[in-house]
Structures are given as structure tokens and as C-alpha cells.
Structure 1
Amino acid sequence: MTAPFSVLLPVYRRDDPVHLERSFTSVTSEQELPPTEVVVVRDGPVGPELTKVLDALVASSPVPVTVVPLERNEGLAIALRQGMEACSYEIVARQDADDVSRPARFAVQVPLVEQGLDIVGSAIEEFDEEPALGAPAHGMVRTPPLTQAEIARAVGFRSPFNHPSVVYRRSAVTRAGGYQDLPLMEDYWLFARMISLGMATGNVREPLVLYRVGAGAYARRGGIRLLRSELELQRRMYTLGVTSALECARNVVLRGGYRLVPEGLRRRAYRADAMRR
């Protein structure tokens, strides 16, 4: 018998109500292995349209839903910390409000955590317009490093997990210090700390999540705010011992420079790098 598990799904005012509904359905009624509960964190006021959709989803959900309301928009790190505290189960799956999980996702990943992994992700497939259920999206597939050794080698230069795809042990996340504030890089910093502690890691080659790229996904990877987070991430990674001084300098130049190039060039560079993996 598969262990019970939670889905953790943060929502904030800029999320699209249609995308939220699709995302929620994909992790509940469409799953071959449905979750035991869904924990939705409402990160501040979300407006009447999102509120209406969220209320309808809670009322019609085939699994129990807990909504954690935050009085104001606190940011992703605090939202996820509050959500983790509300999760009833040791195994927690992350889901974003604009992505779509494939029906087999939890049936594949949850048993891997039961068998000993502390965190497991998967490949993701980009899409602008969602394909029919079960059909390929025909978008770029981002395949992460698969084995623990490959993941440990990769973490010094890039996030070794596609963050919308991860399933993990709540106790392992807590032992690593939980989600900490680092705008737009909260997940990467958590993964680095989990890996530095020697936790059991893995990724699935199959793209179990469809990642929506039509709504400014590449624009969000650039700009001064993200550059500041990038520089702070590199400082923390060096202090933790994840990177050497030379690797830190390399990352500041390459990863930092990537944040400042025009969006079109950033998109091409990112896809070219993904194709080489």
C-alpha cells in the first residue's frame, strides 16, 4: 500500500484562474495515484476571480483540501514554509499554479521516496498550449541529472532539479533548514543544502510535468532583482562549501551575466544549454 502524501500548491494574485483550475485538476482527479490531501497556500489577497475559482475547487475536490490564507503577500519562501507546516504527511509533492502534472507523476515518484529517496524530481516538458490529455506537448524537454553522483556534480553550477517536479520528505526539508528567503531562487538554495548534507537524491528521466512558458517564463529569469538573488546565492554556495572560489567567480560571470542579457537571447541561450545536456 502506498504511503499517504500531500500536494503543496502556492497561489498568489498574479496567477491565472484558468491555469490554477487546470493545475489543480491535474494533481487530483487525473492522477493514477491521487494525493491524500492538497494544501493550498493563498499568499495574500488574490482578488474575486481567483477566489471564486479556488472556492469552487475546494468544494468539488475529490480529495481533502486545506487552504492556508496569508493576510498579505509574503513571497514564496514564507508561503511554502507555512504550507509545509500545514501538510499532514511526511511525503510532500510540489505543484505550481500554472503547470500541469502528467497522470502517472505520483505513481512514479511517491514509491521512490517510500523506497528511500529524500527528494526526487523529473524531466519537464515546456508548453505554450496544452496538448490533449496523455499526448506529448512537443515542447523542449528539460532532463535533469539522474543519479545522486550526477546531481552532486551539477549543483555547483545549476539547479539539479526542475523545481515544479519535486517530491520530498518533509523531515529532510526541515533538517536542511526549510525554505529560506532568496527571491526566485528559494528552491535552488534548498536543494543545495539538502545535497550538501548527503541526502538521498534522484531524478526520473520521463517528463512528468508540463511547464508553462507562455506567460513570461523567460522574462522572470532576468533583471536586476534576479541578479541580486544570483549574487547572494553564489555567496551562500561558496560559504557552504558547495563551490570553490574559482567556481564561484565563474558562476558570477556566467550566471550573473545571463540575468542581464535581453529576453530573446536569454531564451536562446537557455535552450541551447538544455539541448547539450
Structure 2
Amino acid sequence: MSDFQTITVDAEMATSDDAQRPYFSVVMCCNRDEGYIHQAIQSVLAQSFSLFEFVIVLNACTDELYASVAAITDPRIVLLRTEIGQLAFNLNLGVNSAKGEYIVRFDSDDICHVDRLAESYNLIRTDPAIDIVAGSCRIIDAAGTVIGARALREQNWRSRIIYSNPFVHPAIAIRRDLILRARGYSGGFQSEDYDLWIRLAKRTDVKCIFTSFPMIDYRVSDFQSKGSRQAYAEVASYFLREFLIKPGFRRFFSVLLSISKVFFKSKK
């Protein structure tokens, strides 16, 4: 990943009175290891930006997985364990336990760019009112070979949200208190982030910045639930909820579109 330009962090942060408080809390949940979790963890610990903590929530996992992660001795790691397998619950636990101003999402099969946090910090410094930093990503296969990219650009994410998820969830940084004010993640089992974006899209005060910087290498493998029928069905239920709360043509269209994806776009 050395083919990207190194980001320089403003030195003022390192000399501030609260320099010991993490600016970012990286939150990662995992219930099984497909062989990538230790690479994922090391990519976070190797960040060029130092003021962060790493909240790892292991849920419904084996004792072996817990022991292998617990054996990593790094003071920045906050290790939690639950018996509940639902991702939304465990994300809420991680966010609630976090001390950083911004939550940085990350998944246990992906790889963080070494300057991910530095880039996010510098973008926020340009406008402290930013609530969400929406990062781009490179796409890798199970072996780690780059097979594509998703480059995000400035867009009206509120209008696009009925067509597709406008964010790469494990590549975002979001203000912690914004998640708390939204009452956390409340989605189903596979698409909890989409539900959060739908709810936040109704708020005109949420400020988001998109960047083409590849925050992560996003891994595509057979183990993912992305694109499953259940995931599409859950998204359809979110749009149906919004339509029932406040009927309108646009919301009715979003219901029809999301239902069509359940039958014509999802994995069988």
C-alpha cells in the first residue's frame, strides 16, 4: 500500500491539552476469523496518526478466536466480548464504549490504508462542522489482489439513498455523538448501516464530505452476506417503514424499487 502519498498531520493536535484522549475510536466487530483478522488488526495499529483507540468487539465467537486476539498486547486495544451475534447490537456496544470524538468503522477482513486516520483528520480540520467523512476504497479478492475500486465523489447522498447505499460503511468516520443522537444502529442482521443512513438523510443539519482517498482495501469473498436476499429484504423493510410514517410518491417509489431488488438482484 506504499503507492499512495503519505499524509501530514497538523502538529497542533499533538500539543493540545487533551492530547492523551483518542480523537478517533476505530470500532471493529467480529464473530469468526476467515484468516484475515490479524492482518486487519495490524493495519489499524500501524496507522501514521497516533491519537486513536481500537475497540474490538468479539461476539458469539470461539474461545480460540478470543484468545488469539487477547494475546495482542497493545494499550490502544479495548477488547470486548459478547454472546450476542447481531452486528447492530455489537456496534452499539462498541460506540457506547468508545472515547473518541469520531467513530471509524472497520471490518475484520479488510485492510486499513496506513494514512487513513491522518487523511480523515486533515479533512475534518478543513471544516470542523463535518459529521461524516465518506471514504473510497480499493477492492481486493480473497487472496488480497486488487480487482477494482470504488471512488466516491461529492454527491447529493440524500437523493441517491433510495437507489443504493451511498457509503462504504467500513471506510467511513462519523461523529460519535451523531450516532448517539440517532439512537444508535437499529437495523436488522445484515444491513444496519443502510438503516442509519436512511434515518440521518432526513436531517438537513448532517454534513458529509466525500473523498476519493482509498481509506481501505475492501475484501470481497464468499463469506460475506453482502447482496443476500435477507439484506435486500431488510432494506425494503426500512423504506416501507419510512413510507408508512410519512406517505409520499418518492417514498412509495423507494419501496417498489427496494422490493424489486429482493427478487431480481439478490443472491438466491
Per the shorter chain, which TM-score range?
Answer: 0.7 to 0.9
- Residue aligned with 1:140, SS: strand
Change (3 A) 1:244 1:236: same
Confirm or deny: 8 A CA contact 1:128 1:213 kept in the other structure: yes
Shift in Å, 1:261:
4.9
Q: Which residue of 2 aligns with 1:24?
A: 41
Confirm or deny: 8 A CA contact 2:54 2:76 kept in the other structure: yes
- Residue aligned with 2:254, SS: helix
- Residue aligned with 1:236, SS: helix
Among candidates 207, 210, 213, match of residue 214 of structure 2 = 207
Confirm or deny: 8 A CA contact 1:161 1:203 kept in the other structure: no
1:160 and 2:159 aligned:
no
Shift in Å, 1:240:
6.0
Shift in Å, 1:101:
0.8
Q: Which residue of 2 aligns with 1:43?
A: 59
Among candidates 122, 134, 155, match of residue 121 of structure 1 = 134
Tell me how far apart the structure 1 counterparts of residues 65 and 203 of structure 2 sit (CA, whole Å).
Answer: 39
Shift in Å, 1:107:
0.9
1:232 and 2:237 aligned:
yes
Structure showing the higher helix proportion among its residues: 1
Amino acid at match of 2:80: V
Q: Which residue of 1 aligns with 2:68?
A: 53
Question: Among the aligned pairs, what percent are the same residue?
Answer: 21
Confirm or deny: 8 A CA contact 1:8 1:93 kept in the other structure: yes
1:68 and 2:80 aligned:
yes
Tell me how far apart the structure 2 counterparts of residues 214 and 47 of structure 1 sit (CA, whole Å).
Answer: 21
TM-score normalized with structure 1 length: 0.80
Deviations along 1:135-168, one digit per CA (max 9) or x if unpaired, are xx53211223x32x52122112111110110101
Tell me how far apart the structure 1 counterparts of residues 215 and 143 of structure 2 sit (CA, whole Å).
Answer: 14
Tell me how far apart the structure 2 counterparts of residues 239 and 101 of structure 1 sit (CA, whole Å).
Answer: 39
Tell me how far apart the structure 2 counterparts of residues 122 and 214 of structure 1 sit (CA, whole Å).
Answer: 21
Q: Which residue of 2 aligns with 1:138?
A: 146
Tell me how far apart the structure 2 counterparts of residues 130 and 261 of structure 1 sit (CA, whole Å).
Answer: 22
Q: Which residue of 1 aligns with 2:33?
A: 15
- Residue aligned with 1:95, SS: strand
**Unmatched 5+ residue regions in structure 2?**
1-11, 14-21
TM-score normalized with structure 2 length: 0.82
Shift in Å, 1:227:
4.2
1:176 and 2:182 aligned:
yes
Tell me how far apart the structure 1 counterparts of residues 166 and 175 of structure 2 sit (CA, whole Å).
Answer: 17
Q: Which residue of 1 aligns with 2:96?
A: 85
- Size of the aligned set, in residue pairs, is 244
Among candidates 188, 193, 198, match of residue 194 of structure 2 = 188
Tell me how far apart the structure 1 counterparts of residues 232 and 163 of structure 2 sit (CA, whole Å).
Answer: 15
Q: Which residue of 1 aligns with 2:8?
A: none
**Unmatched 5+ residue regions in structure 1?**
132-136, 263-277
Q: Which moved more, 1:115-124 or 1:159-168?
A: 115-124
Shift in Å, 1:197:
0.9
Amino acid at match of 1:139: I
Shift in Å, 1:43:
1.3
RMSD (CA atoms): 2.2
Tell me how far apart the structure 1 counterparts of residues 203 and 58 of structure 2 sit (CA, whole Å).
Answer: 31
Shift in Å, 1:130:
5.6
